Structures are given as structure tokens and as C-alpha cells.
Amino acid sequence: MPSASTVPASPPRPSGSNPVLSTVSDAAREPSTRLLVGLLIAAALLPRLLLMPFNENFYGDAVARVELAERWLRQPHLITSYGDGAFQFGPLHLYLVAFALELVPDKALAGRLVSLLFGVLSVVPLFSLTRRVFGWRSGVWTGLAFSVWGMHLQMSTTAASEALSLFLMLSVFALIARGLDENRLGPLFGAAAVLNLACATRYDAWLFMPLLAVALFLWGNDRVAGATRAVSFGLLCLPFPLLWMQGNELAHGDPFYPIRAVEQFHADWVRDGIARVGTWRYRLENLGFWPGVALLTLSPGVALLSMVGMKRMWREQPEVRWLVLASVVPAAYFTFRASVLMDFQPLGRFTVTEVALLLPFVVPGFEACVGQSGAGVRRAVAAACAVLAVAVPVALGLYTFRVDGGLHDSLRPVSPTSTNPVPLMQVARFLKDEVAAKGGAAILDEDPSYLDLQLAFFSALPDERLARVRWATFRKHLREAQPEYLVRFDNGALLKDPGAKLEGRTLTLDGVAYEELDGFSAPLHVYRRR
């Protein structure tokens, strides 16, 4: 690969190519970068603001993260391990959500505002990265494609950590591109510092420490310079991971305790998946998961052009191969684990970084496909891709919005819209209006799918007025709160309790009878004390 000094900030187009998605000559003066960034921020903000009133915290453990941040806010301290308040999550996102809760007491909104902020700001490092490696026009079209990326629209308007994590990872890639372009170590050191923050947010960022260090070593022809880049970058990536590992070693006897907890969830999901569809179908579904998510959420036009562009740039611009590797290697690694080893269940939110790194290649892919065609053909293809980029997320969002069951549930995790099951929100509204608002208390069953966490969150009932079967202190809360209402889930844990007995529409718990109320739908049942 060529040395850093040979890579211009705005690389020339391949010989003989036509200007892409524009009739303006390449020699035209670049508009103000501030103006372009401002317009892209506005383009990213608009669809996310439109979705804010409709989307609800559901996927990505959004509810659990807000409640943990709320707990931390009651007793602020430095989180050093799994058992110190973060559990399987990284601590950085919890700190930020807690800060938002201080400013915005509405806990259903505070965490979402954190995601909205970093989700919109993500277009800035993405534009910077793309502009540096492929030019400003590519940066603009990449930013516009990002602004309507369906899966990210959801993640920017719910309280999980993906929006923050992607902002940090895109900042890492933009700083690396700058360091390589300018042949300076300073931006690489900045990238390592930001990667520490990403590692403190999500564990999938840890994979990029060795991957990017190797990529930096291989970049260019000077192996001594490559070793200097790789070693210095790798060492500066280590502070947070080492401190976090030490904290978990001291607290739990295992430096990788949180990661092993996450792995256990995946082992359970894998068993459930195999039991549901069989071994070979499970392997095949996982084999196509990453490209499938890209095609579905970026839209087929944007995704296919990006894939073609990635292939072309690997061949024609060796200096950007590090960026291709950053997208392809993690996807290949997790695909191998899911399809061959079958010890990992891919989820839409785990593909975010890799799918986002397709976007810088959309204009090079367009060039590869129609670059030598006439202006009419180029405009027609560009228009078709633009229409699909908007139409696909709109259609997917409408299809999954407040509709439950079947394919709707399968597609909802990657849809622009995020809504809880309709029966659950009906009960949540009842608890909020008829119980919480009147100073009452309720018993909540434990649901195997964790829907009781969602119900508790949206009920607006404080902990002292909830008796949750999930809690080890269930009986204590039951005695103290004296709940008037009870919510049971089909297949919930309550009926396994020796003190609970269901006879027709009457549920008796510890000698207290509760009568079922009409007007609610399975899998939830609402009871009132006689």
C-alpha cells in the first residue's frame, strides 16, 4: 500500500470516469464545509424528530439501561465492574443517561434524547471520513443516505446505546483516516482515546482494537512506520479495557465476567433458534444475516451500490483497504461463529458499525456501475436508488408500527419504528392512569420474554409501590405495598409460586383473592383485589 504522503485529502476519480450524481465539473470549488455539515445535520435531524413522538423504548435493553442509570443517580459512584451497577453493559452510556435524567426528569424521554443527540451528530464524522477518502460529493451523498437509514432512525430515537456507540466508532475511523492522510500520529492517538470510550459503551468495540492495530501495521510500504503506528495505537487503546478487566477480576474473580454473561444470553438464544427452525436453516439464515440487514435497512439500491464500491475500491485504492477490513472482518467473524460454531446469535443492533461502513462506498459503487453511461442513465439510476432509500424504511416502519405477531415482530428490531406490544401498552396505560396516578400499588408477574420490565417502566409506578415476582424481595414488597391490582402473563412465573392458585377468573395469592377484569388481551391478564 502507498505511504501516507501519497494520499490526497480528496482522491482523484479513476481515469476516464464521469462526475457522479452531478453535472458540476470536478474542478468546481468545494462549498463551505460548515455549510455542508450544517445541511447534513438538518437532513439527519428531520426524520428523527418526526419519529420521536411515536417511537418507544423497547429493543437494545433500552428500558433496563434507563432504570440502571436512574439507580446510579440515587447513589453516584465510579462503576468498576459488572456487579457495581452496570451489569452486562458498559458504564459510559449509563453515565450519560443519568446526566440526561438530571436535566429531563421524564425517564421515558431522557435516554432517547441522548440517542437523538449522538445519532444526529454521527453524520459529522461520517462526512469527514468519506470526504477525506473519496471527496466531498461522496461525503454529501453518504450523509444523505445515512439520514434515512431505517435501522439507525430507530436507534436514534430510543434509549439503547447503539447511537452513542456508532458516533464514537465513526469518530475513530474519521480520525484514523486523517492520521493516515496527513501522515501524523496525533489523530491516531485521538482515535485510540475515542476507542476507549467506545469500549466503555459496547463490548463489540473491543474487537476493533486488534483489528485496527493490524490494519495500521499493514498500511503503506514502510514496515517500521507501520509498526510504530500499530504499537502506539494499540497501547493507547488499553487503559479502559484493562481497568474494566481488573475491576471484574477483583469483584467476580473473572476479568471477562460481563462478556461471559452476554455470551450466556447468546447460548440461550442459539438453543431457542435451533429448536424453532432446525440446525441447517439456522446456519443458512445466519450466513446471510449481515448482507440481509444491509439490504433491508439501507435499501437494496444503496446497499448494492456500496458493496460494489467496496469491491472496486479494494482493487483500485489500496490505501482504503483498512476501511474495507473494518467492515468485513467483524461481519465475517460473527457470521462464522453464528453459522459454523453456532455459539452466537446475530441481532440487528450488532451489525450497526459494519453496515454503516458500507455507506462511504455508495458513490464509488455508482461510478463502477454506471460511471461510463450517459447523463440520463446516471440520473435515472440515482433517482431510483434515492426513491428506494426513502420508500423502503417508510414502508417497513408502517408495516411494523403497532402491529404484533409473525413477520411484524421479526422485522421490528430493524424497522424505523419501535413500538411495544399493543396489549402491553394497554395495561401500562391502565396502571399509569388508574393505579399510579391514584397512589395505588400493583403486583407484576415475571414474563420469560422480559415484558414485565417494559410494563413496569411504562406504568410510572415507583419501586415502593410495585411487588415484582422477578425480585428476590417480592414478598417484602407484597407485605409493605398491599397492592390492589395484579398483572399476570401467560406462561409467567407467578403460577409456579406455591402461594398462587388460579381458578377460572379468580387468582388467589397468599390467601388474598383477585378477580380478573375485562377489557385486556392475552398474554396479559389484569386482576383486582376483592
Report whether 451 contacts 427 (CB < 8 A). no
User: Each residue of 355-377: b (16+ CB within 10 Å) or e?
Assistant: bbbbbbbbbbbbbbbbbeeeeee
- For the sheet containing 524-529, what is the strand order? 466-468, 442-444, 485-489, 524-529, 512-516, 506-509, 500-503
Q: Nine-digit cell at 359?
A: 455507506
User: Each residue of 278-293: b (16+ CB within 10 Å) or e?
Assistant: eeeebeeebeebbbbb
Residue 489: phi and psi, rounded to 5, are -100, 140
Q: What distance in Å separates the CA atoms of residue 262 and residue 357, rounded to the nearest whole number?
A: 25
* β-strand partners of 529: 514
Residues in contact with 168: Cβ distance below 8 Å, sequence separation at least 6, in sequence order: 194, 195, 197, 198, 201, 205
Decide: helix, strand or coil at residue 408. helix
Q: What distance in Å separates the CA atoms of residue 436 and residue 72, rounded to the nearest whole number?
A: 23
Decide: helix, strand or coil at residue 486. strand
Q: What distance in Å separates the CA atoms of residue 190 and residue 175, rounded to the nearest whole number?
A: 7
Q: Nine-digit cell at 232?
A: 502506539
* β-strand partners of 506: 503, 515
Decide: helix, strand or coil at residue 430. helix
**For residue 42, what is the DSSP state?**
H
Task: Write down the pLDDT at residue 220.
Answer: 87
Task: Write down the pLDDT at residue 404.
Answer: 93
Closest CA to 185 of 197, 170, 195, 175: 175
Task: Write down the pLDDT at residue 24.
Answer: 37
Task: Write down the pLDDT at residue 28.
Answer: 61
Q: What distance in Å separates the CA atoms of residue 343 and residue 410, rounded to the nearest whole number?
A: 21
Task: Write down the pLDDT at residue 373.
Answer: 84
Q: What distance in Å separates the CA atoms of residue 24 and residue 398, rounded to the nearest whole number?
A: 37
Residues in contact with 244: Cβ distance below 8 Å, sequence separation at least 6, in sequence order: 80, 81, 199, 200, 258
Q: What distance in Å separates the CA atoms of residue 149 and residue 47, rounded to the nearest whole number?
A: 10
Grouped pLDDT means (10 residues each) for the chain, 530 residues: 39 40 52 95 98 95 95 95 94 97 94 98 98 95 97 97 98 98 96 98 96 95 94 97 97 95 93 93 95 96 97 95 97 96 93 97 95 88 96 97 93 96 96 95 94 95 94 93 96 94 95 95 95
Residue whose grid cell is 414485565: 452
Closest CA to 170 of 136, 139, 141: 139
Q: Nine-digit cell at 103?
A: 436535566
Report whether 524 contacts 482 (CB < 8 A). no
Element (H, E) at 394: helix 375-400
Q: What distance in Å separates the CA atoms of residue 424 and residue 463, rounded to the nearest whole number?
A: 19
CB atoms within 10 A of CB 351: 24
Q: How much is the pTM?
A: 0.92
CB atoms within 10 A of CB 274: 15
Amino acid identity for residue 94 in this structure: L
Decide: helix, strand or coil at residue 277. helix
Q: What distance in Å separates the CA atoms of residue 94 and residue 119, rounded to the nearest whole number?
A: 16
Decide: helix, strand or coil at residue 450. coil
Q: ω into residue 523 within 30 of 0, thus cis? A: yes
Residue whose grid cell is 448482507: 291
Q: Nine-digit cell at 308?
A: 460494489
Q: What distance in Å separates the CA atoms of residue 281 and residue 268, rounded to the nearest whole number?
A: 17
Report whether 94 contacts 26 (CB < 8 A). no
